[in-house]
Structure 1
Amino acid sequence: MTTNRRTLLLAAALAAPTVKTAWGQGRVTLKLGHLANEQNVWHRACLKLAEEAAALSNGRIEVQVFPNDTLGREMDLINGMQLGTADMTITGETLQNWAPLASLLAVPYAVTSIQQMDAVAGGPIGQQIAAEIVTRARVRPLGYFARGPRNLTANRAIRTPDELNGLRLRVPNVPLFVSVWQALGARPTPMAFGEVFTSLQNGTIDGQENPLALIRSANFNEVQRFVNVTEHVWSWIYVAISERRWQAMSAADREALTEAMRRTQAYERGLFTEDERNLEAELKAKGMTFVPSDQQAFAAKARPASIAGVRAEAKPLLEQMLATRA
């Protein structure tokens, strides 16, 4: 290459606009994909996260939010986060595929109130779970959102485990859920969610269990008369970032994103509390009757099956969770 040619190339490079690296002090773009729709509390909270992250970083951090699995399903996103091809998602017990302690996010009657959930998720137990997720799954929980408790719907009131009396109950294909409901006295039947309404309608099953949001969105009020308030699973779900992305960020941007998540978590709690009240009122208006259940009786009968159903590595921490109920 001639001297004149080198001079021209250097001049062109100096004249071109400077492009800062994505993970230096320049602009940081994070794509956050999740499964919820635009009306969901989680999606609205993620938009708040984007707003706070931009404000706290003087516009350096842009969180782009993609609902409805438009970036891919949960497992696809987790795999991408591990490889460095995806940035963020909302995820929970699915992480047990890599980190056994993540199974503790949804153990029946391990947590029996939102206050206990906060004590667990935000305390030393939650820190141990999150640390294992970082080490083994290579994704980093930034904070957590509340999930509505799962309740049992049926066409009869059920206040105690004895009143289950062989109820044919749809459950997700989760072995722990099957064993716990068997121990409680039901006849659990794993079934895809899309088949539940028709199965309730034609009498193939007698009941199902889900949070109020899904009971409403699936129109189960049309085929079920009672919401039996068992609240048998209180759980949380993480907003997580790829550990590769996190390690590549500057200390200042990590601090900004952490504070943005802290504010978002508090914001989401307000949305969640209001949403649960509205869901109950709406389902009652649609004709469903809410029946208080003897949750202590359910919890006591479920406990042996819950402990037996988790992996050996998770049992000591589950015992600690159960002790926080006292």
Structure 2
Amino acid sequence: MKLRYAHVGSEGDIQYWYGDEAGKRIPKATGERVQVQVFPNSQLGGVQELIDGVRSGAISMGHHEFASLARLSKDIAVFNAPFIYRDGAHALAATDPQKSEVLIEFNDKLAKDGGMRIVGRLFRGARQMTAKMAVRSPADLQGKPFRGVPLQLWTTMIKGFGAIPTPVEVAELPTALMTGMVVGQENPLTMINANKLYEVQTHVMLTGHMQNVLPVFINERVWQGIGADDRKAIYAQFEALAQDTLQQANKAEQDLIGELKKKGMTFVTEQDGLKLAEFRERVITEVNKDFPSWKPYIERIAAVK
């Protein structure tokens, strides 16, 4: 059996490495019975084409954000919610397709209504807050414009930060920060470094407010057409890859903290007075208000060991 695996990640992104490794490991683990041809960098289309393609079977499998599956499975975007995970290890535990009860429940609905199921996941790291001053609590951002991704979930989160959500395209972000159109933004450290935001921001707050975990999904008919032993082998490979991405992301974060300090950025942690519990409480309150149906899922995800 030959699987077509598509994703939108480009070279240098952990997504690209993950897809490449899956393409090598799965054939080996299945005695070459399951072959994988990987199409990275949106070669088979953007996100919409990817989801539609996996649903129809034109594409066997792929990976992207949980939110991109929302029209196939109501409330599945809860796995993208801010402050829902304690850390990366918790994010992987809560999204384990074989052990997490809440993910298994969503998977049943996804297989029934969307014609696909989640069989793995990868970890891309945590998003952190930056600003041109130290931010220790939501009060420090009260009434200040803060860059947000133009999606409802980000608008909700930034209101919880205490700030005024202000949409800015990534390409325009350095200019917006330099001119004071916005006082801060949030992104993984990799992006903060790559986009040279250390030139226009002075402080990084280690809020870890979003743990970025992406699901790997496969067409349900294709999955059922794979033998039980090979399905088991594929699960094992995706689990090993998930843990590899967690280790890589944690190491990259530690390396980048040192690098960004050398470039003049000051890091603010709970030891420095960062009121993480206050941010978490405020943000979750806003999420509960704007996404009321998520509350029971958030509680169940929080309880995952």
Could you tell me whether the CA contact under 8 Å between 2:125 and 2:211 is conserved in 1? yes
Could you tell me whether the CA contact under 8 Å between 1:41 and 1:268 is conserved in 2? yes
- In the alignment, structure 1 residue 213 sits paired with structure 2 residue 190: yes
Match of 1:309 among 249, 265, 290: 290
Note the 1:104-123 alignment, pairs <5 A. 104-122=78-96, 123=100
Helix, strand or coil for the counterpart of 1:97? Answer: coil
- In the alignment, structure 1 residue 286 sits paired with structure 2 residue 260: no
Counterpart-to-counterpart distance in 2, 1:323 and 1:252: 31
Cα-to-partner distance string for 1:169-225 (whole Å, 9 max, x where unaligned): 111112132123224320111233233222223322111111112222222122212
Could you tell me whether the CA contact under 8 Å between 1:184 and 1:298 is conserved in 2? yes
Q: Shift of residue 95 of structure 1?
A: 0.8
Cα separation, partners in 2 of 1:80 and 1:107, compared to 1, 3 Å: same
Question: Could you say which residue in structure 1 is the equivalent of 2:301?
Answer: 321
Helix, strand or coil for the counterpart of 2:236? Answer: helix
Counterpart-to-counterpart distance in 1, 2:90 and 2:139: 27
Counterpart-to-counterpart distance in 2, 1:63 and 1:147: 22
Match of 1:295 among 276, 284, 290: 276
Q: Which has the larger radius of gyration?
A: 1
Could you tell me whether the CA contact under 8 Å between 2:125 and 2:246 is conserved in 1? no
Q: Letter of the aligned partner of 2:23 in structure 1?
A: A
Q: Shift of residue 287 of structure 1?
A: 2.2
Question: Could you say which residue in structure 2 is the equivalent of 1:237?
Answer: 214
Counterpart-to-counterpart distance in 1, 2:303 and 2:30: 41
Counterpart-to-counterpart distance in 2, 1:322 and 1:250: 34
Question: Could you say which residue in structure 2 is the equivalent of 1:265?
Answer: 242
Q: Shift of residue 323 of structure 1?
A: 5.0
Q: Letter of the aligned partner of 1:116 in structure 2?
A: H
Question: Could you say which residue in structure 1 is the equivalent of 2:163?
Answer: 186
Counterpart-to-counterpart distance in 1, 2:6 and 2:39: 5
Counterpart-to-counterpart distance in 2, 1:89 and 1:73: 11
Counterpart-to-counterpart distance in 2, 1:282 and 1:254: 42
Question: Could you say which residue in structure 2 is the equivalent of 1:23?
Answer: none
Question: Could you say which residue in structure 2 is the equivalent of 1:75?
Answer: 48
Could you tell me whether the CA contact under 8 Å between 2:159 and 2:283 is conserved in 1? no
Question: Could you say which residue in structure 1 is the equivalent of 2:29?
Answer: 56
Percent identity, aligned pairs only?
28
Counterpart-to-counterpart distance in 2, 1:68 and 1:282: 28
Counterpart-to-counterpart distance in 2, 1:139 and 1:274: 33
Q: Shift of residue 154 of structure 1?
A: 0.9
Q: Letter of the aligned partner of 2:50 in structure 1?
A: L
Could you tell me whether the CA contact under 8 Å between 2:160 and 2:284 is conserved in 1? no
Helix, strand or coil for the counterpart of 1:216? Answer: helix
Give RMSD over aligned pairs. 2.1
Cα-to-partner distance string for 1:71-94 (whole Å, 9 max, x where unaligned): 211221110111111122112221
Cα separation, partners in 2 of 1:245 and 1:302, compared to 1, 3 Å: same
Could you tell me whether the CA contact under 8 Å between 1:101 and 1:132 is conserved in 2? no
Structure 2 residue runs without a partner (length 5+): none
Under a length normalisation based on structure 2, what TM-score does the superposition of the two structures give? Answer: 0.89
Question: Could you say which residue in structure 2 is the equivalent of 1:131?
Answer: 108
Helix, strand or coil for the counterpart of 1:100? Answer: coil
Helix, strand or coil for the counterpart of 1:238? Answer: strand
Structure 1 residue runs without a partner (length 5+): 1-27
Equivalenced residue count is 297
Question: Could you say which residue in structure 1 is the equivalent of 2:69?
Answer: 95
Match of 1:203 among 180, 199, 210: 180
Counterpart-to-counterpart distance in 1, 2:267 and 2:72: 38
Could you tell me whether the CA contact under 8 Å between 1:105 and 1:235 is conserved in 2? no
Counterpart-to-counterpart distance in 2, 1:52 and 1:176: 35
Question: Could you say which residue in structure 2 is the equivalent of 1:32?
Answer: 5
Helix, strand or coil for the counterpart of 1:316? Answer: helix
Q: Shift of residue 36 of structure 1?
A: 1.9
Q: Letter of the aligned partner of 1:172 in structure 2?
A: V
- Identify which range, 294-303 or 105-114, moves more after superposition: 105-114
Cα-to-partner distance string for 1:96-141 (whole Å, 9 max, x where unaligned): 1221231111212222322432342232222223333323322221
Under a length normalisation based on structure 1, what TM-score does the superposition of the two structures give? Answer: 0.84
Counterpart-to-counterpart distance in 2, 1:133 and 1:213: 32
